[in-house]
Structure 1
Amino acid sequence: MNKHIYLILFLISFSSLGQQKVFKGDPDRAFKVARELAFNKERKKAQDTLLLILTKYPNYHDIRSFLASTYSWDGDYEKAKKEFTYILKNNPNRLDTWEAAIKNELWSKTPFKALEMSNKALKYFPKNPEILYLKASAEDGLDNPEEALLTIEDILQDHPNHEKTKAYKINLIDKLSLNIIGLKSSVDIYSTVFNPMQFYLIKYVRQTKYGSIHSKVNISRRFESTGAQFEVDMYPRITKGLYAYLNFGISNSFLFPDIRYGAELHKSLPLSLEASLGFRSLKFSSSTTTIYTGSIGWYTGNNYWSFRTYVTPGDSGASKSVALTYRKYRRDANNYLSAEAGMGISPDEDRFNLSSNATINLNSQKFNLGYYFTSKNEKNLWGIQSGISHQEISFNPGSYFWIYSFSLSWDLKFR
C-alpha cells in the first residue's frame, strides 16, 4: 500500500516539476519508480522521468543505459544508439552496455554495425562469451554462418558448458547441412489374401537458396516381383509465404505407374493457417489418371493440424478420400509425434493401383501413429511409424481385409 501511495505522490511531484528544466530530488528513488513504470507498460512516463533525472545527473550511466534500452524495446533504435554511444564514449568498460548496444544493432537489422561493435567490445573484454555470442549472431545475420560457427567454437573451447552457445552451434550445423541421404523400409501385413509386401526408399536431398530438391528411388517387393521407380521432388520458393511442390517419376515395372507427375501450390494465410491446391497424374499403359488434391493446415503453439482431400474423377463417378493429420512438435520441426486418420482410397497412395482402371470407390479406413526424433548432434533423424487399415477388396466388393503397416526411416544430414 505504501508503495502505491509513494508512486502516486511521485507522479504528482513529477507533474509539478514538469515545467522545470533540471531535476530536483533523489535520483536513486526516482530511477526505481521509473523502472516500475517501464515494466508496467507506462514507458513514455518512465522515459520522461529518466530524461528529467539526466538533466541533473548526465553521467548516471545506469539511468541512461536503461533509457536507451526502453527506446530499443519500443523500436526507436536511433534514439537508443545515441544514448548507448554517449555512455560508451565516456565509459567503455561497461559490459552490460556493450551487450545492450550490440543487441540494438541486431534488432534494427544492421548486422554489419553489430559485428563492428562486437569487435570493439572484445578489445575491452577479450574472449567474453556473451560478446562472442553476439558477434556470431552478427556474422550469421550477414549470411556468413561458417564464420559464425568458428566464433561459436571459440566460445566452447573456454566455456564448454555454455548452454545457449551449445544450442546455437546445433542450429548453425543444421543450417550448414545442405545435404541429406536417407533410407526407409516398410512392410504391410495382410489378414488374408495377400502375402506381406515390402517397400524401400533411398533418397538424396540438396538444399538450395531456391528450395530443396529430392531425388528418390522407390523399390517395391510384392506379388513375388520386384520393381523400382525413380522420382524427383522439388519445393521451389516463389515469394515470401508461397512455395510450390513439383514431382516427376518414371518406372518400367507394372508395380508402379509408367510416368507420374504433379504440382501443388502452398500459401501461408493469416491466423497461422496455410492452404494448398494441386494435382497428381499417373500414366499407365493405356490411359492417365488425374487426381486433384487440396489441404488446409493450422499451426497453434507446438501443434499442427492438417486436413487433406483427394478427388479422382471417373466414368462411374468421382473417387474421394480424406485424411486428418495431427503433429505435436517438441523442440523443433524434426522432433514430433504424429497421428493420422483417414477414409477412402486415392490412387496417389493406394498400393493396389496397378492398372489404368484406377478409379474405384472402395470403403477404407486407416489410422497411423508416428514418432520422429533426432540424435544429440541433430545430424541423424529417425522415424518410426505404425498403422492399421480396414479396406475393401477391389476384386471382391463387400469383402474386407486388415492391413498392419510398420516402417522405419533414417536420414543423415551433412555439409
Structure 2
Amino acid sequence: MKRSSSSGAAPWSPSRAFRTLRPWLLLALAASPPYLMAQDVAPDALTAQMQQVRELATSGQRQLAIKRYTALLAEHPGNSDLLLARGRTYAWDGQYDAAEGDLRTVVQNNPGYADAWSALGDLYRWSNHPQQAADAYSHWVELAPQDAAARIARGRALRDAGQFAAARTDFDAAAARGADAGEVASLQQSLLPRITSPDSTTVDGYRWGATASWDHTGFSGSRQDWNDADLSLRRYFSRGSLALELLRADHFGSSNTAWALDGYVPLWSRAYANVRYQHGPSNGVLPQQAWRMEAFQGVGRGWELSASIDHLHFSSDTDFYGIGVGRYVGNWYARYKLQYVPGVGSGSWSQRLVVRNYYRGDADDYLELSISSGRSTDVARFGSVVRNSNAAIGIAWAHYFSPHWGFKLGAGYANDDGGYDERRLWLALYSRW
C-alpha cells in the first residue's frame, strides 16, 4: 500500500516544482541586465558575407565581388538572394547577358520576388531595351501597387519606349502615392515633344497622322510671290515614325513637284535620329536630290543636344552642318541652332533661336517665336533654296481644337541681303487617328 504524507499534500515532483517556480523565473529574467539574458541572435553568416561582398561591389571592385558571389553560390546553389546580388553586380559592370541569366533564374523560381523584377527592369533599361524594362517593372507594380518608386521606374521605361500617355499615367500615380512633387514635375516635363521632332513618336496611342500645309512668301518691289504646298501621310510605330510626302513649289512663275520619305528612328536611351530623302525634278526650283540626318540626345534634366548634316544637289552640291542645344524650363522650351556652309566665305554661318510656350501644359498647344540670321535660315522649308538673310523673325500658334484635328498658323518677316523684304504667311492642318 502507498504511503501518504502526513499533511495530505500531493507528492513532490520535478515538473510540479518547475510549474510553481516558472512565473518567478520569468520575472527574474525580465529584470536581469541585458548581458545576463540570452545574447541577441547573431546575424546569419551568409547575410554577413553578402553584406561584405556588396560593399566591394559598391566601392568599384565589381570583378572581385562577382568572384565572391560565385564562390558563395557554389556553397549555396540556387540561392535567390545570391543570384539577385550577383545579377545586379553584373548589370552595374555592363555584363548584361550574364546579369539577365541570373535575374531571369530568380524570377522564374520565385515570381513573387519584387526586388528581382525591379533589378531585371533596371538591367533592360540600362541596356536600351525599354519595352522589356516596362514589362519587368509591371510585375514590380503588381507586387507593390502602392510603391511610388515602382510607378516612376515603369513610367521612365514607357517614356523611353515612346509610350508617353502610359508614362504620364504612371507619373500621376506616383504623385498620388507620395512621390516627390519636384521629381514628378520634371518627369512630366520630359514627356513634352522636342521642338525639332514632334513626329518622333506616337501621340497618345494614335497610329496615323496627315498634314496639309500652304506657305506664301511675298516680296518687296517687283519680285514674284512664292507659293509652296505639302501633303504628308505619316505612320507612327511603337518607336519612331515614317512619312511619305508630296511637295509642290511655285517660284518665279515656274512650278515643280517632289516626293520625300521622312523618318524618325530610335538610337539608344534618350536618343533618336531624323533621316530624310527627297527626290525632285532634273532641273528647277526644287533640288534634284536632298537628304538630311540629324541626331538628338537628351542629357541631364530637360536638356537636348543635336548634330545635323543637310545635303542639296542642284547642278552642284551644297552641304550644311549644324549643332543645336535645347532646354525645357516648366512649360517653356528654347532651342538654339548654329549652321555652317563650307566654301561660301563670310555668308557661311547662320543662327536660329526658337522659343515655345506650351500654354495649356500639353504637347499640342503652344505659341512660338523664332529669330534667325545668316545663310540657309530656312533650309528645312522644302529644302528648296539657299538664302542669306540679314535678319528674320516669325511667330506661330499651334492648337488642337479636337482630339483628332488641329492647325498651325504663322507669319514672318525677313530682310534678304539681295535687297528684298520678305513677308511670309503659312497654315498647316493636322489630322490624326
TM range, normalised to the smaller chain? 0.5 to 0.7
Q: Residue 333 of structure 1: which of 363, 382, 392 is its match? A: 363
Report what 2:428 is aligned to: 409
Aligned partner of 1:397 in structure 2 is: none
1:110 aligned partner: 138
* Correspondence 1:368 to 2:394: yes
Per-residue deviation, 1:332: 1.2
**Hey, what's the Cα distance between the residues in 1 that align with 2:143 and 2:330?**
33
Structure-2 change in CA distance of 1:293 and 1:340 (3 Å):
same
* Distance in 2 separating the partners of 1:184 and 1:302: 26
Q: Displacement, 1:222?
A: 1.7
Deviation at 1:408, TM superposition (A): 0.8
Equivalent position amino acid for 1:410 in 2: L
Change (3 A) 1:348 1:408: closer
CA distance in structure 2 between the partners assigned to 1:354 and 1:245 by the alignment: 18
| Residue 212 (structure 1) shift | 1.1
Cα distance in 1 for partners of 2:222, 2:243 equals 35
Name the amino acid aligned to 1:271.
R
Match of 1:349 in 2: 379
Answer whether contact 1:254 1:354 (CA < 8 A) is retained: no
- CA offset at residue 114 of structure 1? 4.5
CA distance in 2, matches of 1:343, 1:234: 28
Q: Per the alignment, in what secondary structure is the counterpart of residue 362 of structure 2?
A: coil
Segments of 5+ residues of structure 1 without an aligned counterpart are 1-76, 80-105, 118-136, 149-172, 394-399
Question: Structure 1 segments of 4 or more deviating over 6 A?
Answer: 350-355
Work out whether residues 291 and 348 of structure 1, in 8 Å CA contact, stay in contact via their aligned partners in 2.
no
Give the Cα separation in 1 of the matches to 2:205 and 2:381.
Answer: 37
Distance 1:363 1:206, change over 3 A: closer
1:195 aligns with 2:195: no
Specify the code of the residue in structure 2 equivalent to 1:298: R
After TM superposition, the score normalised by the length of structure 1 is 0.54
Percent of aligned pairs sharing the same letter: 19
What is the rounded CA distance, in whole Å, between the counterparts of 2:232 and 2:367 in structure 1?
A: 23
Deviation per residue, 1:206-233 (Å, 9 max, x gap)? 1112311122111111211111121111
Asked whether 1:382 is paired with 2:382, we answer no
1:215 aligns with 2:240: no
Amino acid corresponding to residue 256 of structure 1 in structure 2:
L
Q: 2:296 aligns with which of 242, 263, 266?
A: 266
What is the alpha-carbon distance in structure 1 between the residues aligned to residue 320 and residue 421 of structure 2? Answer: 25
Aligned residues: 251
What are the residue-to-residue correspondences of 1:159-308 with 2, within 5 Å? 174-252=203-281, 253-285=283-315, 287-308=316-337
SS in 1 for 2:431: strand
Question: 1:181 deviation in Å?
Answer: 1.0
CA displacement at 1:294 relative to structure 2: 1.1
Change beyond 3 A, Cα 1:353–1:194 = farther
Structure 1 residue aligned with 2:343, among 298, 311, 314?
Answer: 314
Shift of residue 175, structure 1, vs aligned partner: 2.5
Distance 1:312 1:188, change over 3 A: same
Q: For the structure 1 residues 363 and 225, does the alpha-carbon distance in structure 2 shift closer, same or farther, using more than 3 Å as the test?
A: closer
Question: Structure 1 240/351 Cα, relative in aligned 2: closer, same or farther at 3 Å?
Answer: closer
Residue aligning to 1:129:
none
Write the letter of the residue equivalent to 1:310. Answer: Q
CA distance in 2, matches of 1:364, 1:257: 24
Instruction: Determine if contact 1:311/1:318 at 8 Å carries over to the other structure.
Output: no
What is the CA deviation profile of residues 268-292 of structure 1, one whole-angstrom value per residue up to 9, with x for unaligned ones? 011311100120111122x211110
* 1:402 Cα offset (Å): 1.1
**Aligned-partner Cα distance in 2 for 1:312–1:223:** 25
Q: Does structure 1 conserve the Cα–Cα contact (< 8 Å) formed by 2:354 and 2:370? A: yes
Q: Do the aligned partners of residues 190 and 352 (structure 1) sit closer, same or farther apart at CA in structure 2, a change above 3 Å counting?
A: farther
Deviation (angstroms), 1:250: 0.6
Asked if structure 2 preserves the Cα contact closer than 8 Å seen for 1:189 and 1:195, the reply is: yes
Contact 2:389 2:414 in 1 (8 A): no
CA deviations 1:376-408 (Å, max 9, x no partner) are: 3x2112100000111111xxxxxx221110011
- Where does the alignment leave 5 or more consecutive residues of structure 2 unmatched? 1-112, 116-133, 146-154, 167-201
Larger Cα-atom Rg: 2
Measured after TM superposition, the shift of residue 182 of structure 1 is: 1.0
Paired residues of 2:280 and 2:287 also in contact (CA < 8 A): yes
Q: Give the alignment of 1:13-92 within 5 angstroms.
A: none
CA distance in 2, matches of 1:111, 1:282: 50
Once residues 289 and 221 of structure 1 are traced to their aligned partners in structure 2, the CA distance between those partners, rounded to angstroms, is 22
CA spacing shift, 1:200–1:272, aligned 2, 3 Å: same
